[in-house]
Amino acid sequence: MPAESSPVRHVLILGGTTEARRLAEALEPAPYRVTTSLAGRVGAPVLPPGETRIGGFGGAPGLASWITAHGVTHLVDATHPFAERMSFNAAGAAALSGVPLLALRRPGWAAAPGDDWHFTESLAGAAALAPDLGARIFLSTGRMGLHHFAHLTDPWFLVRSVDAPAPPAPPRLEVLLARGPFTLRDERELLARHRIEVLVTKDSGGGATAPKLAAAREAGIPVVVVRRPPVPTGVPETGSTAAVLDWLSGEPPRRPGGGAPAATA
């Protein structure tokens, strides 16, 4: 088939992560049209190459409409492993539009010898568990979800986030505005300076924020680890950019509305 008659592959990347940015960079020289979508939560996001759009779509139907209106042929959910609603919407929109969907997720973290990890299913679970492990708590779970800890009046909290958190928040709180990556040296110093007794983290995975786990291990500090929500049923998942490139080159472009759904919510 002559190149000019081949349909242009329009890849919509649901982003907000390092993995999404790396994928957009990897696709840049290829013959794809690439749009990255950001939620608009961060004030000054680091923008990826290619086209970008910012803000919610209006649920799965809104995303499906956007896909159809913009001739998207492939959908990659490269949102953060804890962006559960968006992943669910992506699965729903893929089913509605018939556009194939692949989830790109960095692998989760694995405990190493010397770690004292305490698993929980949610931030509410972390709020119930952490005060029993220490009175000075480093909440490295970002600014969203702080309300789960707002009723805890006794422990002292350190919160680290890119943008300032909004209330409700626990009363004994210090906010540190910072954007990763953080080095092991940074994290050792932080834990020591604030005399941290317990660390709370989501199982976000990836290298940018992993040194806090090594620093906690070295210092014998217990860690409350919030487990990931599952990827929606039926959605294929990969951990590597290369696998997404393979998937894109092997998957025939399918016009929105023109094929069977690749995934269901």
CA angle 120, 207, 182 (to 5 degrees): 95
- DSSP class of residue 106 equals P
Q: Closer to ligand NAP at the Cβ: 41 or 227?
A: 41
Options 13-21, 96-104, 186-194, 245-253: segment touching ligand NAP (CB under 6 A) = 13-21
Burial of residue 107, with CB atoms counted within 10 A of its CB: 0-12 exposed, 13-18 middle, 19 or more buried: exposed
Residue 62 interacting with ligand NAP (CB under 6 A) = yes
Options 68-76, 77-85, 172-180, 186-194: segment touching ligand NAP (CB under 6 A) = 77-85
Options 37-45, 131-139, 215-223, 242-250: segment touching ligand NAP (CB under 6 A) = 37-45
Residue 207 interacting with ligand NAP (CB under 6 A) = no
**One-letter amino acid identity for 224?**
V
Residue 94, C-beta contacts closer than 8 angstroms, at least 6 positions apart = 75, 100, 101, 235, 261, 262, 263
The SS3 assignment for 103 reads strand
Residue 140 interacting with ligand NAP (CB under 6 A) = no
- Could you give the C-alpha distances from 211 to 37, 75, 141, in angstroms and in order? 29, 32, 14
How many residues bind ligand NAP, per CB under 6 A? Answer: 25
Residue 167, C-beta contacts closer than 8 angstroms, at least 6 positions apart = 150
Task: List the one residue from 7, 28, 59, 258 that touches ligand NAP (CB under 6 A).
Answer: 59
Tokens of residue 195, six digits:
């005399």
- Minimum distance from residue 60 beta carbon to ligand NAP (Å): 8
Residue 24 interacting with ligand NAP (CB under 6 A) = no
Task: List the one residue from 11, 27, 34, 38 that touches ligand NAP (CB under 6 A).
Answer: 38
Residue 56 interacting with ligand NAP (CB under 6 A) = yes
Binding site for ligand NAP (CB under 6 A): 14-17, 37-39, 41, 56-59, 62-63, 79-80, 82-86, 89, 142, 144, 202
